[in-house]
Amino acid sequence: MADEENSPELNPEKITPEQNDVHADRAKPTTKMSLLQWMEITVSEPEKRTNASMKMQDTYIVYLIETRVTDENMKGYSDGATSLWRRYSEFELLKNYLETTYPTIIIPPLPEKKATYTWQNAPTDKFDPEFIERRRAALEVFLLRIASHTILSTDKIFMGFMQQDSGWKDAVYSTDFQSKAESKLKAISASFRLRKPDRRFEEVKNYANELQTNISNILKYRARMADKLYAIHKVHGNYARVFGEWSCIEKDMSEPLQSAGHYMDVLASSIDPMLEEEEHFADQLKEYLAFSDSLRSVCRKYECVQYDLERADDNLSAKAKERDLLVQGKSPGTFSLSGVKSKLFGSDTPEQRELKIKQLEEQIKQAEIELKQATQETQLHVQSALKDIERFKRQKTKDLQEIFTNYAIMQIKQCKKGIAIWTSAKDCFVKM
Amino acid sequence: MAEETATPHSVKDDAELDSSPTKAADENVKFRDPLLSGFDRESDDDGMESLDLNASIKSDQTVSRSSSLIANFKLDEDADAETKDLFIVVDDPEKHTSTLESYITFRVQTKTNRSEFDGAELSVRRRYNDFLWLRQRLEETYCTHLVPPLPAKHSLKRLDRFSPEFLRVREGALQKFLTRLADHPVLSFDKNLFVFLTAKAWEFQAHKKQGSGIFSRVTDSLHNMGASYMMKNRPPEFVVMHEYIQTFGEKLGVMDRISQRILKESTEYLTELTEWAPCFMLWANSEDKLKASLLAMSKNIEECCKELKDMIDSTEDDFAQPLKEYILYTESVKGVLRRRDAMQMEYDMIVEELAKKKEEREQIKTSDQTYSIGAFLGKDPEDVKETKREKLEQQLVDLTQQMDMLNDRLVVANADLKADMERWHINKQRDMKEIFLNMAERNIQYYERCLEKWENTVRDIHPRNENAEDGIIVSS
């Protein structure tokens, strides 16, 4: 995982999740550091497909993935756009592949499978057009994040996902990435049995947990608030009706009442687009909620690597100790296997001992090499992981600041709308 | 016979009492006091012509009502503003504790040019029960005038009756009550009101004790009768009033329920919002570069909570409460309309009775008493006839007297009520306008304040020392 970056600050990983179309990067002219700088990627046009399989109907949604080279210097510029269809499960396959293949990178998360933190009017059915639309947007962000990562964007399978219509799945499986995946058992052992875990990863793990809790709480209350806000606005609509009925028995007040009633209706229906916009805010937070899983995943992978290192170290120590004992002529302890063997079958002859010592020397040499390798690998792993974690942190700060800013702007818009509606209503009341 | 069944309405026609009060001032010359003009119907009825005008001016009640008629018709739309000469202020609640109970008194200050108030004590202290007493006496004395309502005895929110919130709302309602009385051309001159405004504590207590049981019983019975009687002859303007008040009361009730629901949802929304702010603060604890932004969000949400709470509280006080008061007011108007109906019913019954007796008298003339009970007992049939005829004549005289009295009363009541209703409509329009203007203004203010706060937050999310400027694309 050689690094080609000059310095972190020039990382062109500024994607803007709010926009559906990301155009080629404007700033950095010299080194093309990520795919996004010279390629345009879009996810669009969700469509329903049905597979008549033996058991039952399998209905699912596919999304259109299009790419287009935007830099005339890059290969493929004159080829025009590519397009193919992918479904959610294929995105999952891609993600799993990337996770296993790049254990030191924080892989972007996929949108949720089922709707969470919903309120009364939010769509929960996965075939609901609103839900599908939000999912489409999130899938696009997923691809854009990968494309903007210096390392991930160069992956062939990723490119194939976007451009290789047939045979992609075979290509993925042929990389045999599944075998590289750490077994769950090993991961659990690793997390418990490390002797010298790197403090920094402990901190990242704790941070990930806190992030998850914090965002969960925010999403929980937001959903409840959406509920109440919806009710408040809709109930105001009842004023429209009663004003209309009241205006029938009045003379001077009749017209102003009816006009005011109209504005109460406007108020009631104004909440729908507002809450739809707010769902977008919730989706962005949900992405970061899922990122906490990615963070933990990277930490787990470090723990496995560290576990392997410590085991290699233990192995070497054990072998060395055994050799030392043999050399010193001491018989191994009564409770070791060799001890039992010698008790039962008698001790080794000097020739046998020599042989054993030689064997051990070989094994020790091997173990030393292995330990050196493991140490090196672990070092590289740690370096790479920590670097990506730093990248993530910077991205996260930027993203979240933008998310909050957009939320504030949304609230400002809502307030302005409220002022406008009530001012109109007030103008009606003045004429009463 | 048709004339006798004519409602007092016909009299009013002649007297042009239908003209709106605004025209009355100019048309004073056309005004004819129905009590003096007599009954200008073509009547060949001897009994009617023997009407003793003085007989109808019997009680104090009628006198005050006739003067009220005149007073009512001098009223024009801006009467309140131009001729307002009685100003009352209610303020300064104070707690009193005695061995038996504790209660609150309010200071009632009067400012006026009226001569009868000369030298009178113009600042007194009164408690809620005193207001209740006053209202009761006014209702009894002027049973066909609209007496403004008082606030409910107990708070709907079950507030402590000594809490400043409760007292503030009550003080406002009592103030409105007295202001409406002061603006009323008849009620404001009431003796009991005068005592209420001026008497010292012990004087006032003594005055209160003077009973008025008779009147309350009369009002009740009238009330009950009116409720069960099917109004056939109700004059069209009162039909309109009845229907209006019915529907208006209904609509007020609907609006009250809507506002209660909104308040409930708003309060729950506030609860959630209050829980939301600390979420951001907690998050800030685990962040470094993001700390400032998160704290900015948290602080802002807290401030929006304050604004929301203010709005909820003032909606309760300035919208929900006045609405409820108007519902009470509507109920009391209905009561007065019913009392008027009762009076009309009494009158109608007498008229029917009178017609029946006249019918009988005619029949007697041509009847044959040979088979009557009197003849059976040995009397001369002619004598029996004569006796019966005399008895009937006397009954006719009595009934006619009664009818006249009831007619007077009804005419006056109708005039009072009509004038009061017109005034009530004007006030209602003004009050409703104020209530709803306030509601709109309150909402506007709330949104304006929140807008300001969010604008500040946008600034605070990106502190200047971060070079976060590059790459931030803020979507429009």
A390 touches chain B (CB under 8 A): no
Q: Judge: A225–B276 Cβ closer than 8 Å, yes or no.
A: yes
CA distance A197 to A203: 11
What pLDDT, in 10s, does the model give residues B20-32? 444 434 434 434 3
| The amino acid at A281 | F
> Residue B51 pLDDT > 50, yes or no?
no
This model of the complex carries an ipTM of 0.83
Contact state of B437 with A260 under an 8 Å Cβ cutoff: no
**How buried is B366 (Cβ within 10 angstroms: 0-12 exposed, 13-18 middle, 19+ buried)?**
exposed
Q: Give B283's contacts in chain A (Cβ within 8 Å).
A: 210-211, 214-215, 218
Q: Is B437's CB within 8 Å of A429's CB?
A: yes
Closest residue, chain B, to A411 (C-alpha) = B454
Cβ of B451 within 8 Å of Cβ of A415? The answer is yes
Q: Is B18 in a helix, a strand, or coil?
A: coil
Tens place of pLDDT for every residue, chain A, 432 residues?
333 333 333 333 445 443 333 343 333 344 556 777 788 888 888 888 877 666 666 788 889 998 888 877 777 777 778 889 999 999 999 999 999 999 999 999 999 888 888 887 776 777 788 888 899 999 999 999 999 999 999 999 999 998 888 899 999 999 888 887 777 777 777 777 788 888 999 999 999 999 999 999 999 999 999 999 999 999 999 999 999 999 999 988 999 999 999 999 999 999 999 999 999 999 999 999 999 999 999 999 999 889 889 988 988 998 888 888 887 766 555 566 666 666 666 666 778 888 888 888 888 998 899 899 999 999 999 999 999 999 999 999 999 999 999 999 999 999 999 999 999 999 999 998
> In this complex, is the C-beta atom of A217 within 8 Å of any C-beta atom belonging to chain B?
yes
Nearest partner of B296 among A407, A45, A40, judged by Cα: A407
Instruction: Report CB contact under 8 Å: B458, A419.
Output: no
CA pair distance A245, A226, nearest whole angstrom = 30
Task: Work out the number of other CB atoms within 10 angstroms of the CB of residue A46.
Answer: 17
Bridging pattern class, strands A81-87 and A39-52 = unpaired
pLDDT digits (tens, 9 = 90+) for B413-466: 899 899 999 999 999 999 999 999 999 999 999 999 999 999 999 988 876 544
**CA B339, B345, B351, B353 torsion: positive or negative?**
negative
What's A152's DSSP letter? G
- Per the structure block, which two tokens stand in for B164? 């400043």
By the 8 A CB rule, do B419 and B19 touch? Answer: no
**Edge-to-edge order in the sheet of strand A81-87:** A39-52, A57-69, A81-87
Burial class (CB in 10 A: 0-12, 13-18, 19+), B426: middle
What pLDDT sits at residue B145? 87
Q: Name residues 10-39 of chain A within 8 A of B (Cβ).
A: 14, 16, 18-19
Whether A235 contacts chain B with CB within 8 A: yes
**Cα B72 off chain centre by:** 17
At B120 the pLDDT is 67
| Stated length of chain A | 432
DSSP A100-134: HH-TTS-PPPPPPSS--S--TTS--STT-HHHHHH
Q: CA of B445: which chain A residue's CA is closest?
A: A419
**Coil vs helix vs strand at A69:** strand
As a whole number of angstroms, the distance between CA A278 and CA A280 comes to 5
**For residue B225, what are the contacts with CB-CB under 8 A and spacing of at least 6?**
B342, B345, B346
Two tokens, residue A304: 């496995």
pLDDT above 90: residue B46: no
Residues of B with Cβ-Cβ distance to A423 under 8 angstroms:
440, 444
Contacts of A429 in chain B (CB under 8 A): 433, 436-437, 439-440
Name the residue among B251, B283, B470 with its Cβ closest to that of A246. B251
Tokens of B68: 């009220």
Closest chain A residue to B249, measured at CA: A246
Q: How far apart are CA B441 and CA B443, in angstroms?
A: 5
What is the tens place of the pLDDT at every residue in B221-259? 555 554 545 566 788 888 899 999 999 999 999 999 999
Q: Kindly state whether A232 is in contact with chain B, defined as any CB-CB distance less than 8 angstroms.
A: yes
Q: What percent of chain B has pLDDT over 70?
A: 72
Q: Which residue of B has its CA nearest to A14?
A: B471
Contact A152, A33 (CB under 8 A): no
B298-357 pLDDT per residue, tens: 999 999 999 999 999 999 888 998 898 899 899 889 888 888 888 888 888 888 888 888
Residues in CB range of A153: below 8 A, 6 or more apart: A34, A35, A36, A146, A147
Q: For chain B, what is the mean pLDDT?
A: 77
Q: Are A102 and A175 in contact (CB under 8 A)?
A: no
pLDDT at B50 over 50: no
| CA–CA separation, A202 and B354 (whole Å) | 106
Q: Chain A residues with CB inside 8 Å of B272's CB?
A: 221, 224-225, 228
Contacting residues of B for A232, CB less than 8 Å apart: 262, 265-266, 269
Provide the H-helix boundaries in B16-122.
21-24, 34-37, 46-49, 53-56, 60-73, 79-83
Which whole-number Å values give the CA distances from B130 to B199, B214, B325, B344, in the listed order?
12, 20, 19, 33
Strand pairing report for B86-97 and A57-69:
unpaired
Task: Write out chain A residues lying below 8 Å of B437, CB-based.
Answer: 426, 429-430
Q: Is the four-CA dihedral B225, B227, B228, B231 of positive or negative sign? A: positive
Q: Comparing B170 with A189, which gets the higher pLDDT?
A: B170
Strands of the sheet with B86-97, listed across from one edge: B86-97, B102-112, B123-127
Judge: A419–B447 Cβ closer than 8 Å, yes or no: yes
Determine the Cα–Cα distance for residues A193 and A188; give it in Å rounded to an integer. Answer: 9
Identify the CA nearest to A134 among candidates A148, A118, A120: A118
Indicate the helix (H) or strand (E) that contains A397: helix A350-430
Token pair recorded at residue A109? 């998360």
Q: Which of A221, A242, A405 sits opposite B272 (nearest CB)?
A: A221
B436: left (phi over 0), alpha (psi -120 to 50) or beta: alpha
pLDDT on residue A339: 62
pLDDT tens figures, B357-414: 888 888 877 777 777 777 777 777 777 788 888 888 888 898 899 899 999 988 988 9
The CA distances from residue B371 to A395, B357, B391, in Å, are 119, 21, 19
- Name the residue among A235, A401, A412 with its Cβ closest to that of B468: A401
Q: State whether B474 and A425 contact (CB < 8 Å).
A: no
> CA geometry: angle at B137 spanning B133 and B143, to 5°?
140
User: C-alpha dihedral over B22, B28, B31, B35, to 10 degrees?
Assistant: 110
Beta-carbon pairs below 8 A across chains A and B: 161
